[in-house]
Amino acid sequence: MSNSESKRLEKTRVALTNAQTHSEIKPLLADFGMDDAKIAEGLTIYDNALQKWG
């Protein structure tokens, strides 16, 4: 995996983790349809990408 791919995956992990755990961010994202189910879907996609690229 190239350095840029690693950085992109890490930024994705941080964004999804923040969306899932930060009480100020979570409701703001929910206003745009990013509820717990969508965040979980994103984490699944992230995990799949990590397995393929990592």
Please write the tens of the pLDDT for every residue from 15-39: 999 999 999 999 999 999 999 999 9
Work out the mean pLDDT of the chain and round it to a whole number.
92
Query: Is 70 exceeded by the pLDDT of residue 54?
Result: no
% of the chain at pLDDT higher than 70: 96
Range of the domain at 43: 3-53
Cβ neighbours of residue 19 under 8 Å, at least 6 residues apart? 25, 26, 29, 34, 39, 42
Residue 19 burial (CB count, 10 A)? 20
Q: Provide the number of structural domains found in the chain.
A: 1
